[in-house]
Amino acid sequence: MTESHSKLPEIPILYRDEHLIVVHKPSGLLMHRSPISQDTVFLLQTLRDQIGQRVYPVHRLDRATSGVLLLGLNPDIARDLVTQFESHQISKSYHALVRGWADDEGEINHPVADEEGNNVPQEAVTRYRCLERVELPVAIGRYPTSRYSIVEAEPLTGRRQQIRKHFKHISHHIIGDTTHGDGKHNNYFREHHGIFRLMLTSKQLGFTHPVSLEKIRCDALDELEWQRLNSIFK
């Protein structure tokens, strides 16, 4: 997806009722207008036009990240869901393709600065576990083979680009990350596997419905780029 979008297909809806909506956000789409972007299409406006009513963001995914996104359909519901986020009552997990062989599990506790506003690093914690590993007979850099892992990450705090920065911090750069990643490995996946995006997806989100009190869990759609990895991780 390019920096400027003239038309976007309908945003997939994972769950919807009269109070809230859960969608699958495509990679490359900004949440809303930004003074530093020339984009003309945004998730909030596109979804509003698609369903015919205003939507209220509860959390956010940055432009490059895809996957499960929760929004309220009125301000009161949105505020309730924001409170659930702030009190850590909402469960969320991400899948990422990273360079190197990640540990079976771990916790990254490293301050992260918000580059959009307050540049003072703030406490940030991410737990992760390794789901799959592979070693490919491909020389990238000074080694004759290249190693990669698919990890599940659970951010315990909500700093901007936290997961991307944390995996850079432990030298397991996320594939496709043009800001915090490794260009040589990004180029390999572009040229040999047709993967041009950040390989970070909001995979699962669980919350309590503010009205019915029902426990709801939504899972991301199976994206083409992740399907392409099946031939590698086998």
By annotation, the residues acting in catalysis are: 62
Helical residues (DSSP H) of the chain, grouped into ranges: 43-51, 75-86, 162-169, 183-193, 224-228
Q: Which residue has the tokens 């800001």?
A: 179
The one-letter code for the residue type at 34 is S
Output the CA torsion 151→193→37→154 (10° steps): -10
Which tokens is 167 given? 């995996």
Quote the CA–CA distance of 60 and 64 in Å, as a whole number. Answer: 12
Over the Cα atoms of the chain, what is R_g?
18
26: DSSP letter: P
